[in-house]
């Protein structure tokens, strides 16, 4: 066995899992840890066991007696952990190593993820070559990931490797790139630790390491943070700063990813885009316009320049004070100079058509709570779009539709009124959309149980409402198409 296989055996033997840690220190301490406070979790560790020692060292980032670390890793041993660069000979942690768990259509998965020690463990601002572990953005992207099987996938800017690991669940081969040698080192360690052998790691900037190659799926959580350029003593973190002005790195990926996709291939990435004289989403639309790609872009959040600067200065571990103020002023100066008034954040899905030109260009804002299985949901929406493109209104009227199982109808009445004043359809999963209903549309949707065709339902509803069937059908087919496209039907 290799040293990493020995480590995996020891972690498994200690039951070093998400559930075990949750039971070890309880929900309240776990919540405090999520907020960046480890004292409650530390106080919850009542005894020295292999699990508690591993939790103390690798999750809380605190030293433990060398003998305890040796006992917690009986196969690898303290000496083996030192050789791997996990701890010092005195039991001081050198990396963050923690369990990660999720459920997908293939089952329950438990992994261990290696990254650099964070601000809490270091007690200082993080260094510029810091390799970030699994955070909110990486969880978001992995949840959005379409999991249809492909021969080759690309993780552009792999960081700790979490997206590459997810992609390896549905791709025969994954290429993971990064400009950071440290990131590639830790990502390769993570892959080997979890027994994943189908990932190849390559160092280089953006698409340079895969020039001339093609992929069925590309995922990227790129270093999209907008950072002032050309200033002295301005931290530039490998994991978030792409080295371009403003939102240039997201623009570059959008404009250049087409050449890296096979026909039918899909690219999914997170990104920021700037607001100024024009609309931020319209800015993304301009990036896409001169490509041959289908595009579905969703903006999830928009921040003022003040909120944006505060978020990312604090993200680097800089506490309020003179240095924070210096960086804050630099950020605001940069935005003011370039006429930026706000920053949007969201998800970009791009697809190279199998044949012909693009048929899907959708740019929207959604701030509703996210449901589960978003990757599956996005794949279904793309398939729905393709079907809608293949049928005209006459063929659509001959189709049978069913209401999706997560969809409910909500009605609001004025007190004492017999008829509702507002009717909505609501999704319980996916993007948790809400769609307004008129009387005719509500009646048609209510009858969509897969038994009658759309045309037959429209005829029956027209007769019930005593209106012209042709006019009613023409009225409801466009919103019915939208309900199919967005997953209500």
Q: pLDDT tens-digit profile of 243-295?
A: 888 899 999 999 999 999 999 999 999 999 999 988 999 999 999 999 999 99
Assess whether 103 and 65 both reside in one domain: no
For range 439-461, the mean pLDDT: 96
**Domain assignment of residue 378, yes or no:** no
For range 226-233, the mean pLDDT: 83
213-222, 227-236, 462-471: the lowest-pLDDT one = 227-236
Assess whether 119 and 46 both reside in one domain: no
Residue 1 has pLDDT above 70, yes or no: no
CB 183 within 8 A of CB 160: yes
**Domain assignment of residue 209, yes or no:** yes
Residue 363 has pLDDT above 90, yes or no: yes
Assess whether 113 and 82 both reside in one domain: no
Residue 160 has pLDDT above 90, yes or no: yes
Assess whether 144 and 126 both reside in one domain: yes
pLDDT band at 60 (very low <50, low <70, confident <90, very high): very high
Domain that holds residue 313: 95-358
Assess whether 312 and 421 both reside in one domain: no
Residue 371 has pLDDT above 90, yes or no: no
How many CA within 13 A on the CB side of residue 348?
A: 28
Percent of the chain with pLDDT over 90: 82
Domain boundary (55, 71, 93) is at: 93
**Domain assignment of residue 380, yes or no:** no
**Domain assignment of residue 464, yes or no:** yes
Assess whether 28 and 144 both reside in one domain: no
Quote the number of domains for the chain: 3
For range 100-112, the mean pLDDT: 90
Assess whether 217 and 319 both reside in one domain: yes
pLDDT band at 76 (very low <50, low <70, confident <90, very high): very high
Percent of the chain with pLDDT over 70: 100
**Domain assignment of residue 384, yes or no:** no
Chain-centre distance of CA 112, in angstroms?
19
Assess whether 351 and 221 both reside in one domain: yes
pLDDT band at 315 (very low <50, low <70, confident <90, very high): confident
Residue 370 has pLDDT above 90, yes or no: no
What are the pLDDT digits (tens) for 324-335?
999 999 999 999
**Domain assignment of residue 374, yes or no:** no
pLDDT of 425? 95
Assess whether 203 and 102 both reside in one domain: yes
Assess whether 157 and 298 both reside in one domain: yes
pLDDT of 316? 86
pLDDT band at 423 (very low <50, low <70, confident <90, very high): confident
Per-chain mean pLDDT for the chain: 94
CATH number at residue 125: 3.40.50.150
pLDDT of 407? 94
Assess whether 418 and 476 both reside in one domain: yes
Tokens representing residue 443 in the block: 């009646």
Residue 479 has pLDDT above 80, yes or no: yes
Decide: pTM greater than 0.85.
yes
pLDDT of 243? 84
Residue 232 has pLDDT above 80, yes or no: no
Radius of gyration of the chain, Cα coordinates, nearest whole angstrom: 26
């Amino acid at each position: 066995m290799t040293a990493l296989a020995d480590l995996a055996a020891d972690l498994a033997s200690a039951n070093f899992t998400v559930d075990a840690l949750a039971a070890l220190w309880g929900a309240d301490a776990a919540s405090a840890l999520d907020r960046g406070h480890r004292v409650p979790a530390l106080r919850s560790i009542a005894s020295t066991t292999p699990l508690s020692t591993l939790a103390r060292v690798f999750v809380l980032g605190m030293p433990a007696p060398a003998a305890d670390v040796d006992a917690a890793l009986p196969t690898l041993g303290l000496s083996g952990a030192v050789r791997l660069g996990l701890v010092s000979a005195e039991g001081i942690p050198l990396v963050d190593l923690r369990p990660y768990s999720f459920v997908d259509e293939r089952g329950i998965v438990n992994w261990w993820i290696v990254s650099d020690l964070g601000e809490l463990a270091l007690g200082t601002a993080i260094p510029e070559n810091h390799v970030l572990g699994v955070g909110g953005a990486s969880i978001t992207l992995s949840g959005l990931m379409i999991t249809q099987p492909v021969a080759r996938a690309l993780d552009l800017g792999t960081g700790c490797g979490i997206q590459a690991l997810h992609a390896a669940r549905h791709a025969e081969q994954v290429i993971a790139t990064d400009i950071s040698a440290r990131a590639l080192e830790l990502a390769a360690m993570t892959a080997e630790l979890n027994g994943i052998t189908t990932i190849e790691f390559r160092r280089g900037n953006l698409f340079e390491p895969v020039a001339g190659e093609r992929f069925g799926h590309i995922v990227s959580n790129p270093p999209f943070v907008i950072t002032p350029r050309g200033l002295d003593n301005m931290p530039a973190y490998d994991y978030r700063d792409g080295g371009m002005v403003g939102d240039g790195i997201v623009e570059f990926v959008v404009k250049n990813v087409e050449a890296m996709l096979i026909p039918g291939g899909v690219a999914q990435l997170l990104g920021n885009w700037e607001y100024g004289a024009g609309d931020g989403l319209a800015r993304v639309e301009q990036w896409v316009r001169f490509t041959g790609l289908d595009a579905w872009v969703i903006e999830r959040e928009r921040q003022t320049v003040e909120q944006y600067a505060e978020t990312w200065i604090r993200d680097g571990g800089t506490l309020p004070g003179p240095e924070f103020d210096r960086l804050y002023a630099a950020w605001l100066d940069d935005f003011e100079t370039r006429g930026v008034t706000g920053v949007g954040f969201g998800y970009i899905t791009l697809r190279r058509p199998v044949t012909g030109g693009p048929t899907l260009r959708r740019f929207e804002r959604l701030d509703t709570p996210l449901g589960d299985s978003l990757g599956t949901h996005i794949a279904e929406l793309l398939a729905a779009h393709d079907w809608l493109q293949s049928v005209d209104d006459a063929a659509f009227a001959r189709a049978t539709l069913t209401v999706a199982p997560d969809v409910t109808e909500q009605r609001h009445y004025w007190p004492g009124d017999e008829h509702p004043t507002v009717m909505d359809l609501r999704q319980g999963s996916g993007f948790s959309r809400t769609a307004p209903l008129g009387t005719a549309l509500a009646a048609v949707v209510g009858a969509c149980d897969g038994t009658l065709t759309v045309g037959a339902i429209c005829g029956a509803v027209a007769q019930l409402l005593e209106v012209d069937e042709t006019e009613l059908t023409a009225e409801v087919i466009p919103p019915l198409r939208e309900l199919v496209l967005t997953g209500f039907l």
